[in-house]
Every structure is written in C-alpha cells, then in structure tokens.
Amino acid sequence: EAVIHFAGSIVVPESVAQPLRYYANNVVASRALIEACVHAGVGAFIFSSTATVYAVEAKQPLSEDEPKAPISPYARSKLMTEWMLEDTSRAHGLRAMSLRYFNVAGADPQGRTGQSTPQATHLIKRAAQVALGRVPHLDIFGTDYPTPDGTGIRDYIHVSDLVAAHLLALDALRAGAESATYNVGYGRGLSVREVVRGVEAVIGRPLPVRESPRRAGDPPVLISDPSRIKSALNWQPRHDDLAEIVRSALEWERGLNA
C-alpha cells in the first residue's frame, strides 16, 4: 500500500494574504491524511513539497542540506508537512519520500493531461495563454532582483520528468528504501526574461509583456542540485529543453477550448 500526496493550495501570494487557509488546507489536512495512513498500515508515502522551503541566502544550486527558511506561508506549510512525515516515520515506521519540486511546466507530450486552471500563475502557462491571445499580456513580476537581468531565476522542469521521479520513488519505497528527501529539478536556472525569449523563439514573434512589482513571498533565485535523486533513484531527465517544454504547453493550451 502506498499514498502519493499531491493535494494542496499552491499560490504563493495568496498564501501571504490568506495564511490560515493555507495552514488549514496544507498542514491540518495533511496531518489527517498521514494519521489515516498510519492507522491503515500504509507502508509508503510520497509527498509533493517545494523548493521554496530553502533560505533565500542558501548556496545555489541548492542541495537538500542547505538551510531551510521559507518566506511564505505556502512554503512554511510544506516544510511543516515534511517535518510531520519525518517524525511519523521515526515513530510509526511510515517510510516517506518528500520531493521538492522546482518550477514544473509543460504538458504531456501526447496531449492527454496538462494544467487546466484558467487563473494559473505559472510563468510558462501564462506565456502560452498570452501567445494564443487568451490573455492580453504577460506580467513580469519584479525587475529589480539581484540577478543579471533583474528578474527572478528558476529551474524549470518538464512535468513528464517529474512524473518519472515519482514512479522511481514509489518503486524504491516498495523495494524497502528508507525515508528520504530529494530535489527534483534540472540544475539549470533561467530568468523570466530568458523564458520570454524562449517562448518568442518558439512562436516566432514578440510576446507582449508588462513589468509589474514583485509578488510577496517570491525568492529571487531557485536552482536545483539534482545529484542526490540521480544517484539514489537513477533519475534521468529526458525533457530538459525549454523549447520542448514551451511547445507542449502551447499544444495543451490550444486544445483546452478546441
């Protein structure tokens, strides 16, 4: 028996405005699920965590051992759940793996699944909506970060590679692996402006953008060191290409209202 826990509220600025909602949905509900797993004798648990648990001043690229100091209620709620799993693993033998997602993007290459939320805040999802004329412009939130071009830097990972990481974690737990925490990212950071240029290269025209203030709770840089998951689980990304990520996101977005 195994449980993969994906559920949760994930919008960082919303968590700053509504922290109690996020602690209720992400922490209290997770506690109930973990307790139910213990009572049911579930032996393996995989948790969707986040790279935003790391301290802003942590060394980039981020290893799993870098200091944790989340700056948003969303990120704190994820770290609290990681702690619950660590304690429960020691006390009750529930073996758990927490996967710290970096910036997930793209869609299933075969067009079966993708992100359907109309009001999504994810950069590549929003860029696809703008490219198809469904949103008038793409907001660049923050142009004064301490980065080369002033915009935030993130490690964008294709959703298919993230799925593969979950399957490997599940196989490892079923084979008797102990509890662990892993980063899931490519180890390559791209700024918002670099992503915009990547989208423009795919669509062959400029993307209308609007510079906006920083969003509350957004760290300036998040880049993964994926060495541990590659070594422990033999994770081998197959879609580490921005153009492929963008094309899959565009194809999925086209099909939503077809």
Domain boundaries, the chain: 2-256
The pLDDT value given to residue 26:
99
pLDDT of residue 138: 98
Among 168, 167, 163, which residue's Cα sits nearest to residue 112?
Answer: 163
Q: Are 158 and 107 in contact (CB under 8 A)?
A: no
Tell me what pLDDT residue 258 has.
Answer: 56
CA-CA distance, 211 to 142, in Å (whole number)? 7
**What does the DSSP 8-state code read for residue 133?**
T
Q: Would you please indicate which residues are annotated as catalytic (active-site) residues?
A: 74
Residues of the chain with pLDDT under 70: 258
| pTM above threshold 0.75 | yes
What totals of helices (H) and strands (E) does the chain contain, helices first? Answer: 9, 11
In angstroms, what CA-CA distances link 11 with 71, 91, 103, 108?
Answer: 13, 32, 13, 22
Q: Is 200 left (phi over 0), alpha (psi -120 to 50) or beta?
A: alpha
Residue 120 confidence (pLDDT): 86
Q: CATH second-level architecture of 2-256?
A: 3-Layer(aba) Sandwich (3.40)
Give the Cα separation of 99 and 209 in Å (integer): 32
How far apart are the C-alpha atoms of 77 and 59, rounded to whole Å? 22
